[in-house]
Amino acid sequence: MRKERECQLIKQMIGFLGGEEGSSEDRDELLIIWRGLVNRRPAGLLSEEYLACEKEFLTDYHQKHQRSLADCEKTLHPNILLYYGDICHLQVDAIVNAANSELLGCFLPNHGCIDNAIHFYAGAELRNACAELMKKQGHKEPVGQVKVTKGYALPTQLIFHTVGPRIPEGKSPSPIRENLLRQCYLACLNRAREEGLATLAFCAISTGEFGYPKKEAAALAVQTVDDWLSETAYPLTVIFTLYTEEDAIYYEKELREEEKS
């Protein structure tokens, strides 16, 4: 019954997006309902009808919202760019998802975390792929490593899933947690080189629900990426995606102010 309801909702949305009928408020309401249903859906068999409906909607959605390197802004580092917007819209070789240790995405309906958005806008096949990876692994995903899946409906070719460290509320990052966050970035950078990628977009790992202070995380991320690019000389273009004004302030300070003496 739930799957039938989902298909019905998607068909309605496709009709609205195609200009058949309905208002923007109707579309927004349907999207919220559908996304909540998809968020709660466990990994498992997906009907061909559902997948066809989902693919039609997501293909149309991404065609309208897709962004490229031309939409990113330059920084003092020739191989580091800033992107002000949703990482789900970027057409790059790989994007980084700040995952949880279950690696199955966020199950909270319409939650605002990046894990929730990536799983929804990639399509339901992503959760199944992650479930298969975890089944083979046989245990939760450790902090500071990376798993790779296809991008599915997203404009990106690949998704790098990494679990960052959690910081208790009101606490400063310990040296151990600083190193774990650094390992998240290094694992993704090294995997990008292994895959022969040219572009990699990072979200602000651990700074949302996991509580890592944004200022400290930005400084660590930029230093880690800058050092890696200098040491490896690998021709990778790294994009830091800035979804909030606070993120923008800290990354701009690190990457766009005049070089210090």
pTM for this prediction: 0.93
At which of 48, 65, 82 does a domain end?
A: 65
At which of 28, 46, 65 does a domain end?
A: 65
pLDDT at 20: 55
Note whether 178 and 234 are same-domain residues. Answer: yes
Q: Specify whether the CB–CB gap between 148 and 160 falls below 8 A.
A: yes
**Quick check: 18 pLDDT over 70?**
no
**Quick check: 93 pLDDT over 70?**
yes
Residue 111 lies in a domain: yes
Residue 261 lies in a domain: no
What is the DSSP pairing of strand 158-163 with strand 147-150? Answer: antiparallel
pLDDT at 2: 64
Q: Angle, nearest 10°, between helix axes 48-65 and 114-122?
A: 110
Residue 186 lies in a domain: yes
Residue 260 lies in a domain: no
Residues of the domain holding 41 = 1-65
Domain with residue 85: its CATH number is 3.40.220.10
pLDDT bin (cut points 50, 70, 90) of residue 22 is low
Note whether 61 and 71 are same-domain residues. Answer: no
Note whether 128 and 207 are same-domain residues. Answer: yes
pLDDT at 14: 67
pLDDT tens readout for residues 179-208 = 999 999 999 999 999 999 999 999 999 999
pLDDT tens readout for residues 134-172 = 999 999 999 999 999 999 999 999 999 999 999 988 889
**Quick check: 261 pLDDT over 50?**
no
**Quick check: 19 pLDDT over 80?**
no
CA atoms of 227 and 44, how far apart (whole Å): 42
In which residue are the tokens 């806008």 written? Answer: 121
Q: Specify whether the CB–CB gap between 259 and 76 falls below 8 A.
A: yes
Note whether 119 and 168 are same-domain residues. Answer: yes
**Quick check: 129 pLDDT over 50?**
yes
CA atoms of 9 and 252, how far apart (whole Å): 41
At which of 9, 41, 65 does a domain end?
A: 65
pLDDT at 46: 87
pLDDT at 206: 97
pLDDT bin (cut points 50, 70, 90) of residue 85 is very high
pLDDT tens readout for residues 61-82 = 999 999 999 999 999 999 999 9
Note whether 152 and 197 are same-domain residues. Answer: yes
Note whether 49 and 90 are same-domain residues. Answer: no
**Quick check: 109 pLDDT over 90?**
yes
**Quick check: 259 pLDDT over 50?**
no
Note whether 79 and 123 are same-domain residues. Answer: yes
Note whether 18 and 60 are same-domain residues. Answer: yes
Percent of the chain residues past pLDDT 90, beyond the cut? 76
Give the chain's domain count: 2
